[in-house]
């Protein structure tokens, strides 16, 4: 009986890495490329918690500056006034070279949910948003991400 358990465990451990590789979906958001530029030893490693705090801080600061207390983003010439629903902590990425990616869900007064992609630079507590774009409206993607030679690019949604 113990021998069967050992054999079953060994087979499972041999097959599991292949199952993980083949079960991965096409990435929905950019990820760190294979070629990561090396930082000096003095560069602080930024955690996903740092990225999450950075994007929340940015959204909060910009919301407080607006009379309506909402975060505003321009989409196709329309000013969207949004409230933060959640930060997708599972999609936060250190892209290397002091660049970071964050994805959040926000809700407009009309009830629509917007998935917003943010790119940030800087160190913890000093992160600056460099790009913001509406990725999805009510779950429908406006674009997707595709990796080419270690660099992620936006491509039209299919």
pLDDT digits (tens, 9 = 90+) for 53-68: 999 999 999 999 999 9
Section 20-27 average pLDDT: 38
Q: Which residue ranges form the domains of the chain, and what is each CATH number?
A: 47-144 (3.10.450)
Section 14-33 average pLDDT: 47
pLDDT at 141 over 60: yes
Whose CA is closest to 144, among 113, 110, 115, 108?
115
pTM assigned to the model: 0.71
Lowest mean pLDDT among 36-45, 89-98, 137-146: 36-45
Backbone angles phi, psi at 14, to 5 degrees: -75, -35
Give the SS3 label for residue 112.
coil
Please tell me the distance from the alpha carbon of residue 85 to that of residue 96, in angstroms, as a whole number: 27
pLDDT in the model for residue 30: 64
pLDDT in the model for residue 21: 36
Q: Are 34 and 150 contacting, i.e. CB atoms less than 8 angstroms apart?
A: yes
Cα angle, residue 86 at apex, residues 133 and 54 outer, rounded to 5° = 70
Q: At CB < 8 A and 24+ separation, what contacts does 126-134 make?
A: 127/50, 127/51, 127/54, 127/55, 127/57, 127/58, 127/100, 128/58, 129/55, 129/58, 130/99, 132/73, 134/73, 134/75, 134/80
pLDDT in the model for residue 9: 53
């Amino acid at each position: 009986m113990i021998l069967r358990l050992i054999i079953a465990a060994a087979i499972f451990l041999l097959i599991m890495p292949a199952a993980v590789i083949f079960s991965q979906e096409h990435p929905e958001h950019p990820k760190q490329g294979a070629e990561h530029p090396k930082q000096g030893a003095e560069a602080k490693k930024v955690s996903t918690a740092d990225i999450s705090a950075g994007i929340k801080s940015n959204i909060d600061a910009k919301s407080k500056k607006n009379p309506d207390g909402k975060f505003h983003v321009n989409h196709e010439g329309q000013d969207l006034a949004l409230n933060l629903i959640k930060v997708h902590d599972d999609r936060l990425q250190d892209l290397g070279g002091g660049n970071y990616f964050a994805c959040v869900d926000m809700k407009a007064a009309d009830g629509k949910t917007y998935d917003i992609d943010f790119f940030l630079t800087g160190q913890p507590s000093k992160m600056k948003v460099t790009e913001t774009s509406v990725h999805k409206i009510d779950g429908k993607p406006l674009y997707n991400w595709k990796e080419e030679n270690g660099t992620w690019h936006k491509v039209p949604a299919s």
